[in-house]
Amino acid sequence: MKILVTGGTGFIGAHTVVELQQYGYETIIIDNFSNSSPEVLDSIEKITGKKPDFEKVEMCDTSQLDGFFRRNRDIDGVIHFAAFKAVGESEKFPLKYYHNNVCSLINLLKSMQDYKINNLVFSSSCTVYGQPDILPVDENSPVRPAVSAYGETKQIAEKIITEQVRTTSQRSIILRYFNPIGAHESALIGELPVGVPNNLAPFITQTAIGKRECLNVWGNDYDTPDGTCIRDYIYVGDIAKAHVLALDRLLGRKTETDHEIFNLGTGRGNSVLEVIHSFERVSGQKLNYRFAPRRQGDIVKIWSDCTRANKILGWKAEKNLDEMMLSAWNWEKHLAENIKNT
């Protein structure tokens, strides 16, 4: 079967394309390279032995997207990653996030309806829970007011998908994942944001390799054991495998309802300082970091209850924090070696 992966050259998208192709799916990617590069396509080919089909498409442009679907009428399912995803940036440029993340989804759902493509796996986020009162959070936890524009775009997107499924023949699985980190075991693909990283792991590795002078830890006076924010960090490859299982569930018509939601996490919370210390432990590098004022939009602490995904999807996170950080460091060293050899 042929699967469209939007944003498929991005961090999680590329890892998912690898898993899909190794599983036997045919893939086609659309992306605009706003936070990725064309070289990712070659890296996917090196890992899987097959280069995915690709078209450069701006999803907020309805004519471009319609033209793509008009040319590709044999798509069986869609995994939608394409979105801006940095909490801090979304607080500085909220309109940019609302326009890109919401408009692209609306255009995609309209095209899927027009071309009778009924299966959607959507990339959502634990940010939809806001700052929870009770931890860990499961899929029935209240959806609190979002504390960032990014989080609110995910809440809006989930609502749009829910209504579309309710009123059409479309079916969906929403995957709410927590904080993806790490890189493929081959060190051929990993997190490589354009410009200054907004996420913790690439900023850590770029600081250690010498690309960045110092890592800012945003706040050390939170109500947590060491004063820094706590997140549920999960290996990107584990997340990618969950997308294949979700897609199988949709295409095999194994869903209990036409609209299902699953958390993806480890069920454990680690503070920013714990992540830093994990990196220092596995890399042997002493990291240059400093405490900085709190960053607007950050949740204090959150981690997951993934019992539902474990039981129903048959999925479970496998790698621990040290393994995740080591894979991220191997990826960073691979990038540095490539630069040295060019």
Query: At 330, phi and psi to the nearest 5?
Result: -60, -40
Give the strand pairing for 179-181 and 77-80. Answer: unpaired
Residue 84 has pLDDT above 90, yes or no: yes
The pLDDT assigned to 194 comes to 77
pLDDT tens for residues 221-276?
999 999 999 999 999 999 999 999 999 999 999 999 999 999 999 999 999 999 99
Distance CA 151, CA 145 (A): 9
Residue 296 has pLDDT above 90, yes or no: no
The pLDDT assigned to 191 comes to 93
The pLDDT assigned to 87 comes to 85
Comparing CA positions, the residue from 237, 329, 320 lying closest to residue 280 is: 329
Lowest mean pLDDT among 10-24, 170-184, 256-270, 285-299: 285-299
Residue 133 has which token pair?
């009162």
3-state helix, strand, coil in the chain (%, to 5): 45, 20, 40
pLDDT tens for residues 307-337?
999 999 999 999 999 999 999 999 999 999 8
Cβ partners under 8 Å of residue 341, min gap 6: none
Confidence of residue 277 (pLDDT cuts 50, 70, 90): very high
The pLDDT assigned to 314 comes to 96
Query: At 119, phi and psi to the nearest 5?
Result: -115, 120
The pLDDT assigned to 342 comes to 61
Distance CA 68, CA 34 (A): 18
Residue 200 has which token pair?
């913790």
pLDDT tens for residues 161-193?
999 999 999 999 999 999 999 999 999 999 988
Confidence of residue 278 (pLDDT cuts 50, 70, 90): very high
- Residue length, the chain? 342
- 3-state SS record for 101-166: HHHHHHHHHHHHHHCCCCEEEEEEEHHHHCCCCCCCECCCCCCCCCCCHHHHHHHHHHHHHHHHHH
Average pLDDT, the chain: 95
pLDDT tens for residues 114-165?
999 999 999 999 999 988 999 999 999 999 888 899 999 999 999 999 999 9
All structural domains of the chain, each given as residue ranges with its CATH number in brackets, are 2-183+233-266+305-318 (3.40.50.720)
Residue 338 has pLDDT above 90, yes or no: no
pTM listed for this prediction: 0.96
**Ramachandran class of 157: left when φ > 0, alpha when ψ lies in -120 to 50, beta otherwise:** alpha
The pLDDT assigned to 32 comes to 96
Give the strand pairing for 119-125 and 270-271. Answer: unpaired
Confidence of residue 86 (pLDDT cuts 50, 70, 90): confident
CB 6 within 8 A of CB 82: yes
- Beta partners for residue 54, in sequence order: 29
Confidence of residue 197 (pLDDT cuts 50, 70, 90): confident
The residues that are catalytic are: 150
Confidence of residue 196 (pLDDT cuts 50, 70, 90): confident
Residue 217 has which token pair?
């830890």
For residue 136, cis peptide bond before it (omega within 30 degrees of 0): yes
Cβ partners under 8 Å of residue 153, min gap 6: 83, 90, 97, 98, 101, 102
Confidence of residue 46 (pLDDT cuts 50, 70, 90): very high
- Beta partners for residue 26, in sequence order: 2
